[in-house]
């Protein structure tokens, strides 16, 4: 699965979607890397204050990675989203 993510909320939604596709609840998803159910919930709700190391731990728990690339012309987001 590939999805363009440009906000914390969109990232949270993507994490939740993948977790559910894997058939995991929040507790099960966090267990491999010692993340609490509460932390997984915070990430899935797009909390903008999440620590980067916590985010990367969650990505690892779901076998995901981040790819950084130049935006395509049609991927522009409006400034009001920030």
| Structural domain of 26 | 8-68
Any domain includes 48:
yes
pLDDT at 81 over 80: no
For residue 31, what is the domain's CATH number?
A: 1.10.260.40
Any domain includes 77:
no
Any domain includes 78:
no
Give residue 62's pLDDT band: very low, low, confident or very high (50, 70, 90).
very high
> pLDDT digit string (tens) for 26-42?
999 999 989 999 999 99
CA distance 57 to 10: 18
The count of other CB atoms within 10 Å of the CB of residue 70 is 5
User: Do the beta carbons of residue 43 and residue 12 sit within 8 Å?
Assistant: yes
Give residue 4's pLDDT band: very low, low, confident or very high (50, 70, 90).
confident
Total of domains in the chain = 1
Q: Show the tokens assigned to 32.
A: 């491999």
Q: Please give the model's pTM, rounded to 2 decimal places.
A: 0.81
What mean pLDDT is predicted for residues 16-27?
96
Cα 51 → chain centroid: 12
């Amino acid at each position: 699965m590939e999805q363009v993510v440009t906000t914390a909320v969109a990232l949270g939604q993507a994490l939740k979607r993948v977790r559910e596709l894997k058939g995991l609840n929040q507790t099960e998803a966090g267990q491999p890397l010692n993340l609490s159910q509460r932390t997984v919930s915070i990430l899935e709700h797009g909390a903008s204050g999440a620590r980067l190391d916590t985010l990367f731990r969650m990505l690892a728990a779901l076998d995901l990675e981040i790819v950084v690339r130049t935006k395509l012309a049609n991927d522009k987001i409006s400034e009001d989203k920030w």
